[in-house]
Structure 1
Amino acid sequence: MDADAVRSVGREPHGSSDDPAVLDFSANTNPQVPEGTREVHVESFDDARRYPAEPPREYREAAASYVDCAPEQVVPTPGGLAAIRLAVEVTLSPGDDVLLPAPSFGEYGREVRLQGAAPTFVAHDALLDVAPEQYALAVVCNPNNPTGDAYDDGELRAFADRCRASGTPLLVDEAFLGFTDRPSLAGTEGVVVARSLTKLFGLPGIRAGFAVATGDLLDALLAARRTWNLGTSALAVGRHCMAQTAFVEATRERVRTERERMAAAFDDRFAVHPSDAPFLLLDVGERDVAHIVEQVRERGVVVRDATSFRGLDSHVRVAVRLPEENDRLLEALADV
C-alpha cells in the first residue's frame, strides 16, 4: 500500500441498513442461511480458545470442493473484499494502470488508488474487447454489480487467455457467481478468483471468503496473507456452508423465479436491466432517485440509491428476497 496515496483516498458508499424496523433491499445478501449454521457457530466457541490451525487445511479443502480446484490453490481470506485487496497488493506498484469495469463495485477503484495506481474505467460490457497489454492488472466482476449480467463463459476465458499471453494478471470477482450455475474460473492460470461467502449464505457479519490462484500469483498471495486471518468461528461456519449443496440449489431456483416475477412486475414502470444475480437494476427515468429512496423508506422498505455507481444517474438497485418480502417491495414501489 502506498503511504502517500492512503492519505488521499476516501471511502466508498455501500448498501445495507442496520435498522430492524425496515425491510432491507439495499444489500444483496441471502435472507436465509443453511440449516445447522447457528449450531456450528455456537459449537465453535470452545475451539476458539485456541489459535486456529495454520494454514487452515479443512477450510481450504471445503473451498476447493466448492469451486472445483485444488486445495493448495486456495488462499483463505476474511471475506471477498479481503481477497480483492490481497490480489491488488501483490500485483500493483505506484504509477501502474489498471483496467476496471464501470459501472461496477466501487471498491475496485479505491483499492487500486490505495496502491498509488491509476484506474482506467471501461464499460463493463465492452471490457472483454479491450487489449490488456498496457495494464498491470485487469478486473472483472461476474456477474457484474450493480447491473447483474454475467459474462459468456467462453468469451471470459478467451479474455483470460489474452491477459495471460500479455503478462497481465486478471482478477475475477465471483461474489455473486454462486447464485448461478456458471462455472468458476478458479484454478485458471494467470487468474486470481475472489470468492465471498457473505452473499449466498446470508452471513455478512461472519467475514469468510477466499482467493484462488496458481503459479507465481499463488505464491505471492500465500506469502502476503496474514497468519490467522480467519477466526475459528468463520472457518467452522464457512466449512459447513460450502458443503450445503441442496441449500445452494434451492436458493438458485428461488432467486431465478422471483427475479423473473419481479422484473415482469416492474417492466411497465421502469427499465429493468437483465440480471443473472440476486438483484435488479431499475432505471427510474425522469423520477427523482433520492425522493424514491425516501418515499419507500417511509413505507418500511430500503432500496439502494445506485447513482453512486459510476455512470448511473437515474437508477436504484433492489435485492431479490423471499416471495412475501418481494411483494412488500412491489407494493412500496407501485406508485412512486
Structure 2
Amino acid sequence: MDPDAIDTVDRVAHGGTADPELVDFSANTNPQTPDGVASVYESALSAAGQYPADDYYEFRAAAADYLGVTGAQIIPTAGGLAGIRLLCSVVIDSGDSVAIPTPSFSEYAREVRLQGGEPTFVPHDEITDIDPAAHRMVIVCNPNNPTGESYAHATLQKLADRCRDADTVLLIDEAFLDYTAEPSLAGTPGVVVARSLTKIFGLPGLRAGFLVATGDLQEQLDVARPTWALSTPAAAVGAHCLRDTEFVAETQERVAAERERMRDRLADRFRVSPSDAPFLLCETSDPVGDLIEDARAAGLTVRDATTFRGLDSHIRVAVKRPEQNDRLLAALDV
C-alpha cells in the first residue's frame, strides 16, 4: 500500500442498514441461506480455540468443485473485496493505470488508489472493447453493479486473450455471476476471478470468498495472502454452502421470476435497466431523496444510486422474497 495515497482516499458509500425494523432493499444479498448453516457454524466454533489449518483444504476443494478448477488455483480470502485488495497489492505499482468500468462498484477505484495506481474510467458497456496495452490491469464486474447487465462469455474470452497478449492482468469480479447461466472465466490464463459468498448465500457478515488464478500470478497471490485469512467457522460454512448446488439453482429460478415481475411493475414509473443480477437500477424524474423517504416510511430501505460515479437520478432495489417485493412496489406506488 502506498502511504502517500492514504490521506487522499475516502471511505466508500454502500447499501445496507443495521436497523432490524427495516426491510433492506439497498444491499443485494439473498434473503435466504442454505439449510444447515447454523449447525455447521456452531460445530466449527468449537474448533476456533486453535488456529485454522492454513491450507484450507476443504474450503479450497469445495470452491474448486463449484467452479470446475483445481484446488491449487483457489486463494481463500475474507470476502471478495479482501481478494481484490490482495490482487491490487501484488500487481499495482505507483502510477500504474487500471481500467475501471463506470458506473460500477466504487471500491475498485479506492483499492487502486490505495496502492498508488491511477484509475482510468471507461463506460461499463465499452470496457470489453478497450486496448489493454495502456493499462497494468483491467477490471470487469460481471454482471455489472449497479446496472445489472452481464457480458457474453465469448466477449470476455476475447478480452482475456488481448490482455494476455499485452501482459495486462484481467480481474473479473463475479460476485453476482451465480445468478446467471453464464460460465465463469475461472482458470483462464492471465485472468483472476474474484468470488464471494456474500450475495448468493446471503452471508455478508461471514466474510468468506476467494480468488481464482493460474501460473505465476497464482503462486504470487498464494505467497502474499494473509495467514489464517478465513476463520474456522467461515471456512466450514463456506465449504458447506459451495456444495449446496440445489440451493443455488432454486435461488436463480426465484430471483429470475421475481426480477421480471418487479421490472414490469417498476417500468410504469421508472426507466429500468435490463438486469441479470438480483437487483434493478431505476432512473427517476422524481427527487431521489423523496423516494428514499417514501420507502423508509413504509419500513423499507432502497439504495441511493447517486453515490455511483456518473449517476445522478437513480435508485437501486434488490430482489427479495415475493411478499417483501410486494411491499416495495406498493411503497413506490407502482
User: For this structure pair, what is the TM-score category when the shorter chain's length is used for normalisation?
Assistant: over 0.9
Give me the whole-angstrom Cα distance separating, in 2, the residues matched to 1:28 and 1:170. Answer: 24
Q: Return the letter of the residue paired with 1:267.
A: A
Q: Deviations over 1:238-262 (max 9, x none)?
A: 0000000110000000000000000
Say whether residues 1:270 and 2:270 are aligned partners.
yes
Give me the whole-angstrom Cα distance separating, in 1, the residues matched to 2:96 and 2:230. Answer: 30
Q: Which runs of 5+ in 1 are unaligned?
A: none
Q: How many residues are treated as equivalent by the alignment?
A: 334
5 Å-filtered alignment, 1:235-250, equals 235-250=235-250
Give me the whole-angstrom Cα distance separating, in 2, the residues matched to 1:187 and 1:128. Answer: 19
- SS of corresponding position for 1:318: strand
Give me the whole-angstrom Cα distance separating, in 2, the residues matched to 1:26 and 1:235. Answer: 27
Contact 2:16/2:27 (8 A) holds in 1: yes
Give me the whole-angstrom Cα distance separating, in 2, the residues matched to 1:69 and 1:181. Answer: 17
5 Å-filtered alignment, 1:1-336, equals 1-284=1-284, 286-334=285-333
Give me the whole-angstrom Cα distance separating, in 1, the residues matched to 2:100 and 2:212. Answer: 20
Give me the whole-angstrom Cα distance separating, in 2, the residues matched to 1:175 and 1:292. Answer: 27
Q: Which runs of 5+ in 2 are unaligned?
A: none
Q: Deviations over 1:101-132 (max 9, x none)?
A: 00000000000000111100010011111100
Offset, 1:58: 1.0
Offset, 1:54: 1.5
Offset, 1:314: 0.6
Offset, 1:28: 0.3
Q: Return the letter of the residue paired with 2:241.
A: C
Offset, 1:326: 0.3
Contact 2:152/2:182 (8 A) holds in 1: no
Offset, 1:299: 1.3
Give me the whole-angstrom Cα distance separating, in 2, the residues matched to 1:225 and 1:58. Answer: 18
Give me the whole-angstrom Cα distance separating, in 1, the residues matched to 2:139 and 2:191. Answer: 10
- SS of corresponding position for 2:48: helix
Question: How does the TM-score come out when normalised to structure 2?
Answer: 0.99
Give me the whole-angstrom Cα distance separating, in 2, the residues matched to 1:124 and 1:217. Answer: 26
Give me the whole-angstrom Cα distance separating, in 2, the residues matched to 1:122 and 1:231. Answer: 37
Q: Which moved more, 1:200-209 or 1:294-303?
A: 294-303
Q: Return the letter of the residue paired with 1:116.
A: G
Q: Return the letter of the residue paired with 1:279.
A: F
Q: Return the letter of the residue paired with 1:117.
A: G
Q: Deviations over 1:62-117 (max 9, x none)?
A: 00011111110000000000111111111100111110000000000000000111
Offset, 1:136: 0.6
Give me the whole-angstrom Cα distance separating, in 2, the residues matched to 1:219 and 1:7. Answer: 32
Q: Return the letter of the residue paired with 1:98.
A: V
- SS of corresponding position for 2:316: strand
Q: Return the letter of the residue paired with 2:251.
A: T
Give me the whole-angstrom Cα distance separating, in 2, the residues matched to 1:29 and 1:334. Answer: 24
Q: Deviations over 1:246-302 (max 9, x none)?
A: 100000000000000000011111101000000000001x21001211221111110
Give me the whole-angstrom Cα distance separating, in 1, the residues matched to 2:49 and 2:35. Answer: 25
CA RMSD of aligned residues (A): 0.7
Q: Deviations over 1:189-219 (max 9, x none)?
A: 0011000001100001101000000011101
Contact 2:197/2:209 (8 A) holds in 1: yes
